[in-house]
Structure 1
């Protein structure tokens, strides 16, 4: 599943982030292709902007996707809502569900397969991640333009930068989303940024498999420049 209904304002004005071009094709197309390259992936569901479903269908139809079953549904106002709507479009007999950021267009297929393999091996929730290269400081937030006091320095050896696709047993993913929806209706709900965070919030265990440096997220203009360079190198070396 690829939630792709967000605007991505940090890339600047214009088309939604998922529809920005990379090497002649939208980021979304690259992300769907990345999932479709795995032999274990039989269906890709894209949650598109509610007013852009026809456009996304046209984009995907115009870029060959190796005969994979690709379906487009209307997403929601939040990532969490888009995932829930996308999950509803996946056949009930599907036991393993991946959730992948459209803004991670270059994730290698070996990362996709590693996540699937870990879920098949018995994990309920799996995330790919890479060690941090930089020292990290925890700070006390301050007003814009004001220095932020450092609170402490976490041990970098215990920290990981999480990527996607994240993999889940379908029943677990459905369960945590149902709980979050119920709590939101009551005026509460967890403040998390990904689906693994939902699993953690409700007491489930998440495990980590090795990610890849090329599975970075395209969030800012400089990321797009880097993604173009990676894609050009791949095309030059192996006809990617």
Structure 2
């Protein structure tokens, strides 16, 4: 166990999306939140973590490099981060990043660039527990009432039997490397889906409710409210 604790920790931050569902002129990861781009908020959660040092890999589209260079001029510490170009699907983007990691034994996490509110407690938990369990993802309770539909019929389901999955999803390197040798299939929606498909067990950790993925305009409105609330909370201490 002691050897595992000394292993390097990598986090792949996915920021290669166009954000078409947001309907904004700029890709959603570059939209401002309190005067700072969403992606920079997300990066800061890992760079400034009080208990862990992370090697950070940012996955971007080639067409976004001009924007990235502008960000690096404003936030010079971003210049030290490794950049990898995204692929056709999320699967290919993650694989591109994993293929650049030189360490054979390490801990690798994958996080959405548009989840700027993941808590330091959740980050600590998933990266620590991954050492023990090998594959762990944060999850929260399903709040809405849900029904399952096949297009023609629908059926009520017990929401207590379901969880909402978040990121970062974290794995020991030998597990996620082996999984990404698999040929891409359309139902690999996230890393946990792929790893589970390859026969590994996924453990769940408690996520945080604020760790939303900013995808739709309503999410951006929610994010602004969360950021404002966080600022008021920080000032009160």
TM-score, structure 1 length as denominator?
0.86
Q: Which residue of 219, 222, 228 corresponds with 2:218?
A: 222
1:78 and 1:3 mapped to 2: Cα distance?
11
Q: Is 1:129–2:133 an aligned residue pair? A: no
Q: Structure 1 residues 197, 212: CA separation in 2 closer, same or farther (over 3 Å shift)?
A: same
Aligned residue in 2 for 1:37 = 48
Q: Is 1:169–2:172 an aligned residue pair? A: yes
Aligned residue in 1 for 2:201 = 205
Aligned residue in 2 for 1:193 = 189
Aligned residue in 2 for 1:22 = 33
2:80 and 2:32 mapped to 1: Cα distance?
23
Q: Is 1:88–2:99 an aligned residue pair? A: yes
Quote how far apart the aligned CAs of 1:3 are. 1.4
Quote how far apart the aligned CAs of 1:36 are. 2.0
Quote how far apart the aligned CAs of 1:73 are. 1.7
C-alpha contact 1:44 1:70 (8 A) present in aligned 2: yes
Quote how far apart the aligned CAs of 1:41 are. 3.2
Quote how far apart the aligned CAs of 1:24 are. 1.2
Deviations 1:112-135 (Å, cap 9, x if unpaired)? Answer: 111011112x21211101001111
What is the count of residue pairs matched by the alignment?
Answer: 224
Is there any run of 5+ residues in structure 2 with no aligned partner, and where? 1-11
Quote how far apart the aligned CAs of 1:155 are. 2.1
SS in 2 for 1:238: helix
SS in 2 for 1:127: strand
Higher mean C-alpha deviation, range 55-64 or range 75-84: 55-64
Aligned residue in 1 for 2:112 = 101
Aligned residue in 2 for 1:232 = 228
C-alpha contact 2:91 2:188 (8 A) present in aligned 1: no
Q: Which residue of 59, 65, 86 corresponds with 1:53?
A: 65
C-alpha contact 1:27 1:105 (8 A) present in aligned 2: yes
Quote how far apart the aligned CAs of 1:10 are. 0.9
Quote how far apart the aligned CAs of 1:229 are. 1.0
